[in-house]
């Protein structure tokens, strides 16, 4: 434990406040980090926002570190790990979020030799499938251990495949917050509306549908970090499908309960939810008409508007209205310099 703490504390010190806005990638991430906070009514001073962003980047670094650190699993209280299976006596849907040391959960299942399926996006599968299998080969018990499978969320047959695995005795592991950020998405098939930080938020409800169709429970679990950056388990009561309710009604109840669980933890540790950092892919090309720099510079613009760039354009993001306005390269650098003067 002591060696692990020394390691993560050394990593945390590498993320300096002065480096938070030193490249386009960080500036873009910071813009949406602030937009997310503004949208959900989390109002902080500029200095606090930058400090929270720094801690969010530390948390992201530590989550990546834990994926390949054999000491990380041992840092979590052993009794808490053992208590998981006392509550999860039959296979079901494990619902978690990209919070804290979220990668430790699937590693623990690998080490215990418990058969499970991990659902990931096509992008994550393309980038990390080999790494997941390498970790599995390293962690699985001697003699082979139980099976581990990766499934792609975009697969048109994924619902049937997940149900089949549950019937075979596998646990199904799903990130309830996906990997597309936390700003509201357009309403679409397969989503239900829940309340999150007092705002309406459409979320995918596939995991609830699987639970309803198979009569299997949903197991909410998180792995936050303490103030000393030590991971610990946080488990909520299992959610059992209400067969008296309709499929859609149960989906809404289930997803609301899961996001209530998430909100309770995020309010204690705002910086540990990784989705604050993710720019929503669906919104990148939804921008309004170009405006004159003079108009944009009126008032305290950097309180509500922040610059960012993609491979195609430079933008000014209105964090209140969630609109992105195209600006010139010259204007982008003007705003970046003003941003650094304002926040650093």
pLDDT tens figures, 63-84: 888 877 777 777 776 677 777 8
Q: Report phi then psi at 218, rounded to 5.
A: -105, 130
- What confidence tier does 114 reach under pLDDT thresholds 50, 70, 90? confident
Going by their DSSP bridges, the two strands 116-120 and 191-196 should be labelled as unpaired
Residue 293: pLDDT band (50, 70, 90) is very low
Q: How far apart are CA 255 and CA 211, in angstroms?
A: 11
pLDDT above 50 for 311 = yes
Please give the biggest Cα pair distance in the chain. 69
Of 15-24, 53-62, 87-96, the poorest mean pLDDT is in 15-24
Task: Express each pLDDT in 83-107 by its tens digit.
Answer: 787 888 899 999 999 999 998 888 8
Percent of the chain, pLDDT > 90? 37
pLDDT value at position 64? 84
Cα–Cα distance for residue pair 38/322, rounded to 1 Å? 10
pLDDT at residue 179 greater than cutoff 60: no
More confident residue, 114 or 284: 114
| pLDDT value at residue 10 | 78
Give the residue, 206 or 3, on which the prediction is more confident: 206
Cα–Cα distance for residue pair 27/336, rounded to 1 Å: 8
DSSP state letter for 164: H
pLDDT in tens, 215-271: 999 999 999 988 888 888 899 999 999 888 899 999 999 999 999 999 999 999 999
Instruction: Summarize the confidence of residues 306-322 as an average pLDDT.
Output: 86
Window from 36-50, 104-118, 129-143 with minimum mean pLDDT: 129-143
Pairing of strands 218-222, 234-235: antiparallel
Name the residue ranges covered by the structural domains of the chain.
18-58+284-343, 69-272
3-state secondary structure of 198: coil
Q: Could you tell me the pTM of the whole model? A: 0.87
User: Does 301 have pLDDT greater than 70?
Assistant: no
Q: For position 286, what pLDDT does the model report?
A: 42
Mean pLDDT of 274-292: 57
Taking Cα atoms as reference points, which of 212, 172, 209 lies closest to residue 90?
Answer: 172
The residue count of the chain comes to: 344
Most confident of the following: 195-199, 258-262, 272-276: 258-262
Give yes or no for a contact between 210 and 204, defined as CB atoms under 8 angstroms apart: no
Distance CA 59, CA 63 (A): 6
pLDDT band at 164 (very low <50, low <70, confident <90, very high): very high
Mean pLDDT of 148-168: 92
- Residue 90's region, left for phi above 0, alpha for psi from -120 to 50, else beta, is beta
CA–CA distance, 120 with 223 (Å, rounded to integer): 18
Structure tokens at 90: 């039959």
User: What is the distance between the alpha carbons of residues 40 and 197, in angstroms, rounded to a whole number?
Assistant: 6
Whether the Cβ atoms of residue 148 and residue 172 lie closer than 8 Å to each other = no
Q: Enumerate residues 6+ apart whose C-beta is below 8 A from 126.
A: none
297 pLDDT above the threshold of 80: no
The mean pLDDT of the chain is 84
**Radius of gyration in angstroms for the set of CA atoms belonging to the chain, rounded to a whole number:** 21
pLDDT over 50 (residue 284): no
Share of the chain above pLDDT 70, in %: 87
Q: Which two tokens stand for residue 73?
A: 């699993």
Task: Please report, to the nearest 10 degrees, the dihedral formed by the alpha carbons of residues 295, 46, 267, 15 taken in order.
Answer: 120
Rounded to an integer, the average pLDDT of 300-308 is: 76
Those residues with Cβ within 8 angstroms of residue 304's Cβ, 6 or more apart along the chain or in another chain: 38, 318, 319, 320
189 pLDDT tier (thresholds 50, 70, 90): low
CA dihedral (97, 281, 128, 30) positive or negative: negative
Q: How confident is the model at residue 285 (pLDDT cuts 50, 70, 90)?
A: very low
* CA angle, residues 340, 305, 24, in degrees to nearest 5: 50
- Of residues 191 and 299, the one with the higher pLDDT is 191
What residues contact 238, with CB distance under 8 A and at least 6 apart? 87, 88, 92, 217, 218, 219, 220
């Amino acid at each position: 434990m002591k060696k692990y703490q020394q390691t993560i504390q050394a990593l945390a010190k590498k993320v300096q406040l002065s480096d938070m806005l030193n490249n386009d990638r960080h500036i873009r991430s910071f813009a949406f980090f602030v937009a997310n906070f503004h949208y959900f009514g989390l109002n902080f001073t500029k200095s606090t926002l930058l400090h929270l962003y720094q801690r969010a980047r530390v948390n992201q670094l530590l989550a990546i570190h834990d994926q390949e650190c054999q000491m990380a699993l041992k840092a979590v209280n052993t009794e808490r790990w053992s208590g998981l299976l006392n509550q999860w006596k039959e296979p079901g849907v494990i619902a978690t979020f990209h919070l804290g040391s979220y990668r430790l959960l699937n590693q623990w299942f690998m080490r215990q030799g418990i058969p499970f399926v991990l659902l990931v996006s096509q992008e994550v599968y393309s980038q990390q499938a080999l790494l997941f299998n390498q970790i599995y080969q390293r962690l699985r018990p001697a003699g082979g251990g139980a099976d581990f499978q990766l499934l792609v969320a975009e697969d048109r047959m994924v619902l049937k495949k997940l149900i089949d695995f549950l019937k075979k005795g596998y646990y199904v592991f799903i990130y309830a917050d996906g990997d597309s950020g936390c700003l509201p998405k357009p309403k679409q098939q397969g989503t239900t509306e829940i309340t999150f930080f007092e705002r309406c938020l459409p979320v995918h409800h596939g995991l609830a549908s699987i639970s309803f169709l198979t009569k299997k429970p949903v197991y909410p679990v998180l792995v936050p970090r303490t103030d000393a950056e030590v991971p610990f388990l946080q488990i909520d009561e299992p959610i059992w499908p209400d067969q008296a309710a309709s499929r859609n009604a149960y989906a809404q109840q289930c997803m609301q309960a899961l996001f209530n669980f998430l909100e309770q933890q995020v309010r204690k540790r705002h910086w540990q939810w990784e989705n604050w950092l993710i720019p929503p892919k669906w919104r990148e090309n939804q921008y309004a008409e170009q405006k004159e720099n003079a108009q944009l510079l009126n008032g305290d613009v950097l309180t509500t508007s922040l610059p960012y760039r993609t491979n195609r354009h430079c933008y000014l993001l209105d964090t209140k209205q969630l609109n992105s306005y195209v600006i010139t390269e010259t204007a982008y650098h003007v705003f970046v310099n003003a941003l650094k003067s304002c926040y650093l």
